Amino acid sequence: MGSDLMRAWVVAEPGPMATGPLVMEERPIPEPGLGEVLVKVEACGVCRTDLHLAEGDLPPRRSRTTPGHEVVGRVVGGEGLAPGSRAGVAWLRSTCGACRHCLRGSENLCPFSAYTGWDTDGGYAEYLTVPAAYAYPLPEDVPAERLAPLLCAGIIGYRALLRCDLPEGGRLGIYGFGASAHLTAQAAIAQGATVHVVTRAPAARELALELGAASAGATAPPEPLDAAILFAPVGTLVPPALEALERGGTLAVAGIHLTDIPQLNYQRHLFQERTLRSVTANTRDDGRAYLDVALAHPPHVTITPYPFESADRALTDLADDRVSGAAVLLFS
Ligand SMILES: [Zn+2]
Ligand SMILES: [Zn+2]
């Protein structure tokens, strides 16, 4: 099996999508290591982080890495999970288990953590490996393309919702409305929140209203907010988002990359105990907790499907705001 080849997309030379940073190549099917399983990919979600890696906003950690960390597939080799079972591979690939953060239940902050599609090859390929302890068991009765976006967009959005300290029945602002935001909005509405969406994309505003948002506008929300999540990777949105908070409100920045935040004014943006915080990856407990809820009460997952062979087009469309909901690569 080790000599068998597979097709895999790799980031060859990070740069704007127009320069073709993503190329497909043939490479050997990877061999699972100790405690790892080999997964044959059924579907892989397209996350904005993949775009940051392709375009070089996030520096590569190794050369010619395959992106993709919303992977739904089947176990076809290795140890730790039943052969033939369905598994999900997400962003957090491994942690040390021994540092102060791991021991305190904050493995998302482990300085020795590794990430799928950044430190190791991800799911824009026909096969990948993953430590069994970091894979999520997934049900058989849901199509792979509906499960894939839950694995990062869903889980990270869930953590962002925890981090923004939304009070019960509170008013939540959501800035940017892509894959993660459209799942997070539904989770918040299900909890009884009033959700206001701010996004420049007209189609996304329409989707937000369909999913139950109280308002969807291009600029400021219509009332003060108890909490807000910034999904758009745009630092210039931080000051107005802080200004739109009620006293005591919290703004959580959900993304791994943000353009520079302009100068803040203490009185206008922070005083009255407004809080600005980041969201860094997720713990496996976050992942399991979110998937429990999302599989018991499935959200409406809006999908823009692409064949595996068109991963470069999917990322270009994401860069140009042409994706509705979540883009997903399908393997035939
Ligand atoms: Zn992601
Ligand atoms: Zn650690």
Ligand minimally distant from the alpha carbon of residue 108: 2
Ligand of minimum distance to the alpha carbon of 112: 2
User: How far, in Å, is the centroid of ligand 1 from the Cα of 265?
Assistant: 32
What ranges in 213-326 are assigned the alpha helix state H?
A: 238-243, 284-296, 311-319
The confidence band for 332, taking pLDDT boundaries of 50, 70 and 90, is: confident
Number of H helices, E strands in the chain: 9, 17
The ligand placed nearest to the CA atom of residue 327 is: 1
State the distance from the centre of ligand 1 to the C-alpha of 182, rounded, in angstroms.
14
Give the tens place of pLDDT for each residue, 114-134.
999 999 999 999 999 999 999
Q: Which helix or strand (DSSP H or E) is residue 186 part of?
A: helix 179-190
Distance 260 CA to ligand 1 centre (A): 20
Phi-psi map region of 104: left, alpha, beta (phi>0 left; psi -120 to 50 alpha): alpha
Arithmetic mean of pLDDT, 173-198: 96
What's the gap in Å between 49 CA and the centre of ligand 1? 5
Spatial separation of the C-alpha atoms in residues 277 and 59, rounded to whole Å = 23
86: pLDDT strictly greater than 50:
yes
Query: Ligand 2 centroid to 109 CA: how many Å?
Result: 7
Per-residue tokens: 96: 């040390």
Region class of 74: left (phi > 0), else alpha (psi between -120 and 50), else beta: beta
Give me ligand 2 centre to Cα 96, in Å: 4
Q: What is the dihedral of CA 107, 52, 203, 42, to 10 degrees?
A: -70
Question: What residues contact residue 280 under an 8 Å CB cut-off, 6+ apart?
Answer: 108, 109, 256
Residue 119 · residue 21 · CB < 8 Å: no
120 C-alpha to center of ligand 1: Å? 14
CA of 236 to the centre of ligand 1 (A): 22
**Interval between CA 153 and ligand 1 midpoint (Å):** 6
In 3D space, the residue among 16, 9, 217 whose CA is nearest the CA of residue 122 turns out to be 9
pLDDT at 2: 47
Task: Give the Å distance between the CA of 74 and the centre of ligand 2.
Answer: 28
Gap between the Cα atoms of 120 and 81, Å rounded: 20
Smallest-distance ligand from the CA of 106: 2
Q: What is the pLDDT of residues 295-315, one digit of tens each?
A: 998 999 999 999 999 999 999
pLDDT value of residue 3:
64
Which amino acid, residue 142? V
- As a whole number, mean pLDDT of residues 203-230 equals 97
Rounded Cα distance, 35 and 31, in Å: 12
Any idea which ligand is nearest the CA of 68? 1
Contacts 24+ apart (CB under 8 A), 306-314: 306/46, 306/330, 307/332, 308/7, 308/44, 308/124, 308/126, 308/332, 309/24, 311/9, 311/22, 311/24, 311/46, 311/124, 312/9, 312/17, 312/20, 312/22, 314/46
pLDDT tens for each residue of 25-70: 999 999 999 999 999 999 999 999 999 999 999 999 999 999 999 9
Which of these ranges, 80-89, 224-233, 303-312, 319-328, has the smallest mean pLDDT? Answer: 319-328
Which listed ligand is nearest to 233 at the C-alpha?
1
pLDDT tens profile 193-206: 999 999 999 999 99
Ligand nearest the Cα atom of residue 92: 1
What does the pLDDT read at residue 63?
96
Cα 34 to ligand 2 centroid, rounded to whole Å: 19
Ligand 2 centroid to Cα of residue 72, in Å, is 26
